[in-house]
Amino acid sequence: MAPANSSRLAYIDWMRGLACVLMFQTHCYDAWLSPIARQSKFFMYSQLGGTFPAPLFLFLAGISFALVTGKLREKNLPPAQIARTTIRRGAEIFAFGLMFRLQEYLIAWGWAPLSDLLRVDVLNTIGLSMMLMGVLCWVVLALHRGLHARLALIFAAAGTAILISLLTPPLWTTWRPDWLPWPLESYINGMHNLGTPQPWLFPIFPWTAFAFAGLAAGFFFQSQWARRREALLFFLAGGVGLILITAARWLDSQPHQLYAVYDYWHTSPNFFWLRVGMILVILTAVYAWCRWGAAQLGFSPIIQLGQASLLVYWVHLEFVYGRASILPKHLVTIRTASLGLLTIFLAMLILAFLRTRLKGRGAEILHRFRGSAGAHESLPRPGAIPQEPPAPVR
């Protein structure tokens, strides 16, 4: 059975909302705490939590992409048509990322360098990941039919995630494609125009690996076996997550390493798989919470944030890092920054609530208008593709 609340996939929105909360606290403490406060263990742990929002968003992008691709396959659409729909949606998200960079540059006009327009941010990588997943699904579906297609998709997505994680260390160090112009190399290893890869950017290697890991999980969740045993499936996912965490820690403790340059926190495949394992454990806990926990009681602030995660991501940055920051940057105590964090959380929750309500009311008005216009006008045009965007954020 699915969770009993209004959405069968409420756990996806809950995880997006959790990623938003972790993102808020990471950004708020990073932007506002004074140099003295930044020396505390509190700040260290707050930034450690910041290693999860981007992996969560990308992993959920993969799951959502798999769900939408599955729905399009059920409509018996050809692989090329499925690819056009999903790749186009990825291109839209990538365009949003470019628009966001343009907005940030214009707001910071006068002191932001022109190179900021080409910075590889998380929205750019989410869009690119979706386009790459669309290409992979197109190739696999063109080669496989029927029941074997889903299995082929699972193995292809998992294999791509493994390959990306294994190639990341050399592409950041010994195999750097420094013969490429820096805007292109930056999408490979996050070099930007600073001469060396920057850990605060979101290049294809390693970040898209999280999306492909989510894609593999999403296709597995859609199998007939998984649908008949949904609760068991999610607890098995948590078990697999614990195995990945244990294996990653064991591999990292070995005296000999595979790579000439080893950077655990930024490029290590061990750290990548540890985070995938933790995401699977979180997924199990969130599923249980949505099915049997307080998420059953009605309104959920976390789900509300998850349903408008793109909007709150876009807006909150201006009130944390931008000129409209509600607190002075790098000058306040932990207590003051925490009150600012609470203010940001409540403001973004209200924004998300208004966004979903206005969107729902607009859809209702449109439905009534179409109904009054006549049934024949509401029919889809021949060959129309249903727009079910596989966006990781809404």
What's this model's pTM, rounded to 2 decimal places? 0.87
Taking residues 240-245, report their average pLDDT: 96
146-176 CB burial, b ≥16 within 10 A, e <16: eeebbebbbebbbebbbebbbbbbbbbbeeb
Q: Do 90 and 127 contact (CB within 8 A), yes or no?
A: yes
In our burial notation (b when 16+ CB lie closer than 10 A, e otherwise), range 363-372 reads eeeeeeeeee
Interval 290-298 mean pLDDT: 70
Average pLDDT, the chain: 86
- Is residue 284 over pLDDT 50? yes
Residue 30 in tokens: 């990073």
d(CA 252, CA 264): 8
Confidence of residue 50 (pLDDT cuts 50, 70, 90): confident
* 100-109, 168-177, 181-190, 233-242: segment of lowest average pLDDT: 100-109
Domain-by-domain residue ranges, the chain? 10-368
| Mean pLDDT on 183-195 | 94
Is residue 329 classed as helix, strand or coil in its secondary structure?
coil
pLDDT of residue 8: 53
Residue 360 is predicted with a pLDDT of: 61
Span 329-353, average pLDDT = 96
- Of residues 116 and 373, more confidence is placed in 116
State the Cα–Cα distance between residues 356 and 362, nearest whole angstrom. Answer: 10
Burial class (CB in 10 A: 0-12, 13-18, 19+), 242: middle
For position 369, what pLDDT does the model report? 41
| Average pLDDT rounded to a whole number, residues 176-180 | 94
Q: Which of 86, 188, 95 is nearest to 137 (CA)?
A: 86
Side-chain half-sphere CA neighbours of 327 within 13 A = 26
Under 8 Å between Cβ of 128 and 136: no
Q: Answer yes or no: are the C-beta atoms of 155 and 220 closer than 8 Å.
A: no
266, with CB counted inside 10 A (0-12, 13-18, 19+), is middle
Mean pLDDT of 126-139: 96
Question: What is the reported pLDDT for 90?
Answer: 96
CA–CA distance, 365 with 372 (Å, rounded to integer): 11
